[in-house]
Amino acid sequence: MKLRTLIVLGSFIVIAACSKNKFSSTPSLTFKSASTTNVKQNQPVTFTLEFMDAEGDLGGTVGVKKTSSTCAGANFIDSLTFIIPSFPENTDAKGTIQVYFEYANLKPFPCNGVDTVETAVFQFWIKDKAGHVSDTASSPAITIHKP
């Protein structure tokens, strides 16, 4: 009888822990997809990110950083931000954000003048209206073909 009570109590605790609210005041950001990981000349790329926020006050900014593994030390975007358009605030907000780059804005590095491709990782974060900054979400390696 004691073993059965212990199992039922243990099951209840596990179920209660699993149903915990995943939303917090600090927004969370998850990388979902890139329209391509092999960008050819004049081809755009769209990054899709998923966000969650307890207050739904995301009318802040999206930050982007590009780190090139081909050209060491050449980080062309360090604190570039985009304004998130206003939308109705709802508690426990969850949705997607798309960040779109034209090829010209990807700015492949000239490096040593010989490389014809660049490999880079893009990192994203969001800041809500209250000033809370999310964790950083990273893209997979993106190959950018140079002109």
Reported as a single tens digit per residue, the pLDDT across 64-79 is 988 887 765 555 555 5
Q: Where are the domains of the chain?
A: 22-145
C-alpha–C-alpha distance, residues 134 and 146, integer Å:
32
Reported as a single tens digit per residue, the pLDDT across 36-58 is 999 998 899 999 999 888 777 77
Q: Report how far apart, in Å, the C-alpha atoms of 86 and of each of 29, 59, 99, 111, 124 are.
A: 18, 5, 16, 39, 19
The region, left, alpha or beta by phi > 0 then psi within -120 to 50, assigned to residue 56 is left
Just give the CATH number of 22-145.
2.60.40.10
High-pLDDT (> 70) share of the chain, %: 67
pLDDT at residue 87 above 70?
no
